[in-house]
Structure 1
Amino acid sequence: MTSYRIGIDVGGTHTDAVVLDEAYNVIAETKTPTSADVSSGIYNALKEVVASSNVPARDIDYAMLGTTHCTNAIVERKRLNKIAVIRIGAPATLAIKPLVGVPEDLKAILGKHMYIVRGGHEFDGREIIELDESDIYRIANEVKGKVDSIAVTSVFSPVTNEHEQRTSEILQEVLGDEVAISLSSEIGNVGLLERENATILNAAIVNVARTTANGFVNALKEEGIHAKVFFGQNDGTLMSVEYTVRYPILTIACGPTNSLRGASYLTNISDALVIDVGGTTTDIGVLTNSFPRQSSLAVEIGGVRTNFRMPDIMSVGLGGGTIIQLDEDNTFQIGPGSVGYRLTEEALIFGGNTLTTTDIVVALGKADLGDASRVSHLDTDLLEKIYAKMVNRLEEALDKMKTSAEPIPVILVGGGSILLPDTLKGASEVICPNNFGVANAIGSAISQVSGQIEKIFSMDELGRDKTIEKAKNMAQEEAIIAGADPDDLVIVDLEDVPLAYLTGNATRIRVKAAGSLKKTTLA
């Protein structure tokens, strides 16, 4: 019996869905408008793609979703958990309170129960002061019934997480398993405030992730599909529902990474620049060994500065629905506004009254879409100037993402990639593969499962080789927990950076292991 899988990816303009067979051939694909509530758009895409595939529901074994639910919840300040924030760091960190620098409207939601307790460690792993367990018990009883999620952050917990682990044990003892607990050592890197912020955001979106997961599972069941469900995470791999609910923050920015993974699969190219042109924005990322290059900078999410891992993506305010404003003196402005998912209603070629970038390429004969006669009256010289400016804007962004002056392959994906020509400055070649319009959904469907750890180790304890081996094993264990097949794991990323300012020959090691889905996890 043939096994099939569904991949769905939610973009700002469209929700894309594909059905693939065991050999990853595309059996069916669809694009539907992304709905304001996100969920109904997902369900519509799911129904459409299943109906057009003619695949029996019982033969669909896997369903993968890349979603913006968690990002939207933070940005819109909606549907967030009632949380408590516990920082283990008194007396060392009393000068700066949690949520410093966080926008006031978000602080009002998340800052109702904040505590700083005695404890924490030095940068070399020595205990600053003993953990005040009695204070943790007091806090647990105080917040009982008032919160449904708790963020725990301890000073230098990526070096030593003993105090976070003990705090978690106490909280579970008092509050049970109903209250979700997020530990900063499992989410962020060294850097107390940014790691604390990432942990707080993670705790705040647990319910959103759980509701989304349950809704997706139920929508599949309504279609008669009893598949194993996975969510896309922002390193270009998948995680199980349980892992998603524990670390929902890892779903943020999974859309662009799905596009990168899909681009790599469709072209069989492992190192390239990927330009994903959507309806509202264009995302540019870098493929390294078939996975997205990670950002080394702190990242802001909804105005909150964090330091957990994120893909290195540059977004440019240019897409298929970007509005072109013309003035009487033949000057023009490209964006930043966009008609988004209303393109097929508002663009000139579709009978609307708004001039968009899509109208420009149709008027110039570079794309065959809609009714070209509706843009035939536009001045060709002016259109050429607008088009040259559009292309130049993306070429400049492309140049900023490169690490050398050497030309490299560029892969075009996304429905809006019809905007771009087949040659670009700085590109050795421009490739637009088959199924380019749904590369993000394909990337979601074909992705492997991964596990990643980033910790500071003392090389003096075990020696370099054994320490790196230990780190690899830890990453592989994370991948297995996330749903990977233990017999099909490979290390896809390894980085070790000596830290001169720490004792014990300290080194920060980051390892990512990835593998195919575990066959025995079928529902």
Structure 2
Amino acid sequence: MSYRIGIDVGGTHTDAVILDKDYKVIAETKCATTEDVSSGIYRSMREVLAKSGVPREHIRFAMLGTTHCTNAIVERKRLNKIAIIRIGAPATLSVKPLIGVPDDLRKQLGKHVYILRGGHEFDGREIVPLDEEELIRIAQEMKGQVDSIALTSVFSPVSKEHELRAAEIIQDVLGEEVALSLSHEIGSVGLLERENATILNAAVVNVAKTTANGFIRALEEEGIHAKVFFGQNDGTLMSVEYAVKYPILTVACGPTNSIRGASYLAGLSNALVVDVGGTTTDIGVLINGFPRESSLAVEIGGARTNFRMPDLVSIGLGGGTIVRLQEDGSFTIGPDSVGYRLPEKGLVFGGDTLTATDIVVALGKAQLGDPSKVSHIDRPLLECIYERMVEMVEAAIDKMKTSAESVPVILVGGGSILLPDKMTGASQVIRPDHFGVANAIGAAIAQISGQVERVFSLDELGREKTLDLAKEIAVSEAVAAGADPDTVEIVDIEDVPLAYLPGNATRIRVKAAGKLDAALEQIDH
């Protein structure tokens, strides 16, 4: 029998589960998220192992959804010494790299910034040849100064030629030790946002390496020699090697794990998912079992980026949300929270702070702590507060729907005890078994994906054959990443005609996903 461990780090709790090969939950646990993140991960891992009684040598896979990279960017800590190289002179000189990025982040990341001649037009024509001599000079100047490089060429999603050539030259001079992030592999069309995403990716390479090595070491200390995967923000998994190369893709993997876990637990592929934690409620949309992606630019740590992110609405309502009563009988709900300190700060636990959890306990909607500690609060006032809490979520559900029709709503997360079994806009409200650890389950059951996103000329093969080619590439990417070829399916296709490009050009994005290779599943130590 083979097993898998799934761990997901949230702002308040770090959850862990162990599943068997049929995805049945063997054991689950919730631990407080720690400031350094890692010690909370190791603690939850040890706890779930102790509860499960599963022989260590039978755990074949370990999946981690982590906030390490997000925290490093937000806190401006543990970032790489990076160089920023833009290939785009003379066309892009009027707008320098890191424009619009907060001053403290620009000061930290903008010590080595270069713009050299090269790049392409929007139709794939070369602006000017790549200035290879200048690039060699820059690479020699950077030697010993930086350990990671963000390389962006203008319109590289249309033509990646200059980025690939520049990467070759840099590696010839600096060797393989310096990490390279290429913008055409990370963001889409839109120079500044793609450049920012590439810069942030380059900045967190060491954080990703340290996290991966620490997790593998912690598993080995427990006698587990498992294949390790990281959750990425489209709801699928990536290998350790891929995660270290593209760590930015781990940003926002927590909510997507919850959405995928909710889909599996409720047995639904199309629904809204409401994930209530200790601090916030995240609402996302399930389409064919995967999170709907945002079509808008997303800010990370104050930097505007354009790589794929889940389409989410977050509101300041969670189990630890602070409720303040005013003397005139009015009240406010959040947005601040006691977070992981709820068991010591909440009134029903003997603390001194009125929280959203206290409200539902006082109304008899949840059995937690000591209800007598909140029995003094006026009942009509409690009902008003509760009504407002539910309205906050209903308004967010309405915002995420694409039509006036009611849709199924799946409630997950430890804080989902705050919400009722009927809500406006929901055709049904489903609270599945193991709802409290849906995020860790989502990490454990996630599939391996492959994706292609590039500009194709339809004049060469015609539309149908071009789409077939893109599908083949996406499937082969998924198989190369470790997916079982017999289970790989196309889960998303998008094609956008680019009227301004010659040759009937179309930007095509295809994603394929499949289960972990069955051959690996069946091997026990």
TM range (shorter): over 0.9
Q: What's 2:381 paired with?
A: 382
Post-superposition CA distance 1:70-117 (Å, at most 9, x none): 000000000001000111101000111101100000001110111111
Measure how far apart 1:506 and its partner are: 1.1
Name the residue aligned to 2:221.
222
**Which residue number in structure 2 is paired with residue 198 of structure 1?**
197
Flag as ranges the 4+ runs of structure 1 deviating above 6 A.
none
Quote the residue 1:146 is aligned against. Answer: 145
Corresponding residue for 1:246? 245
- Please give the per-residue CA displacement for 1:304-342, whole angstroms capped at 9, x wherever unaligned: 000000000111110000000111111110001100000
The 3-state SS of whatever aligns with 1:139 is: helix
What does residue 269 of structure 1 align with? 268
**What's the TM-score once normalised by structure 1's chain length?**
0.99
Q: Secondary structure at the match of 1:275?
A: strand
What is the CA distance between 1:493 and its match in structure 2?
0.4
> Which residue of structure 1 aligns with residue 288 of structure 2?
289
What secondary structure does 1:366 align onto?
A: coil
Please name the residue that 1:319 is paired with: 318
Task: Provide the C-alpha distance between the structure 1 equivalents of 2:51 and 2:343, rounded to a whole number of angstroms.
Answer: 22
Residue 479 (structure 1) shift = 1.9
CA distance in 2: counterparts of 1:519 and 1:114, whole angstroms: 46
The equivalent of 1:75 in structure 2 is: 74
Q: Secondary structure at the match of 1:88?
A: strand
Structure 1: 5+ residue stretches without partners: none
SS in structure 2 opposite 1:517?
coil
Aligned Cα root-mean-square deviation (Å): 1.0
Structure 1 residue 489, shift from structure 2 partner: 1.5
Kept after mapping to 1: 8 A contact 2:187/2:198:
yes
Q: Contact 2:123/2:500 (CA < 8 Å) preserved in 1?
A: no
Amino acid at match of 2:440: A
Question: Amino acid of the residue matched to residue 415 of structure 1?
Answer: G
Other structure's SS at 2:441 match: helix
The residue identity in structure 1 corresponding to 2:360 is V
Output the amino acid matched with 2:415: G
Q: CA deviation at 1:515?
A: 1.1
Measure the CA separation in 2 of the matches of 1:179 and 1:6.
32
Q: What does 1:389-428 align with in structure 2 at a 5 Å threshold?
A: 389-428=388-427
* Aligned position for 2:369: 370
Structure 2 runs not aligned, ≥5 long:
none
Partner SS, residue 35 of structure 2: coil
| Equivalent pair of 2:348/2:373 in contact (CA under 8 Å) | yes
Return the alpha-carbon distance in structure 2 between the equivalents of residues 252 and 337 of structure 1.
22
CA positional deviation for 1:31: 0.2
Query: How far is 1:514 from its partner?
Result: 0.5
Kindly state the Cα deviation for residue 459 of structure 1 after the two structures are TM-superposed.
Answer: 1.0
TM-score (norm 2): 0.98
Which residue does 1:178 correspond to in 2?
Answer: 177
The CA deviation at 1:516 is 1.2
Q: Distance in 2 between matches of 1:149 and 1:155?
A: 20
Question: What is residue 430 of structure 2 aligned with on the other side?
Answer: 431
Give the Å deviation of 1:496: 0.6
Amino acid aligned to 1:133: E
SS class of match (1:37): coil
The one-letter code sitting in structure 2 at the alignment partner of 1:174 is V
Residue 483 of structure 1: aligned partner: 482
Give the Cα separation in 1 of the matches to 2:304 and 2:480: 28
The one-letter code matched in structure 1 to 2:475 is Q
Asked if residue 34 in structure 1 is aligned to residue 5 in structure 2, the reply is no
Q: Percent identity?
A: 74
Deviation for aligned residue 1:478: 2.7
SS of equivalent residue, structure 1 residue 308:
coil
**Residue 460 in 1 paired to residue 449 in 2?**
no
Q: Which residue of 1 aligns with 2:136?
A: 137
Q: Given that residues 423 and 429 in structure 2 are in contact (C-alpha distance below 8 angstroms), is that contact kept between their aligned partners in structure 1?
A: yes
Q: Partners of 2:483 and 2:114 in 1: how far apart? A: 37
Once the two structures are TM-superposed, the CA of residue 520 in structure 1 deviates from its matched residue by 5.2
Q: What is the Cα deviation at residue 218 of structure 1?
A: 0.5
**Does 2:43 correspond to 1:11?**
no
Q: By how many angstroms is 1:488 displaced?
A: 2.8
Alignment partner, residue 446 of structure 1: 445
User: How much does 1:472 deviate?
Assistant: 1.6
Q: CA deviation at 1:471?
A: 1.5
Q: Deviations over 1:442-499 (max 9, x none)?
A: 0000000112222121111221122112222222233234332334321110011112
**Secondary structure class of the residue paired with 2:488:** strand
Measured against aligned partners, the alpha-carbon deviations of 1:15-66 in whole angstroms (never above 9, x if no partner) come to 0000000110000000000000100000000000000000000000000000
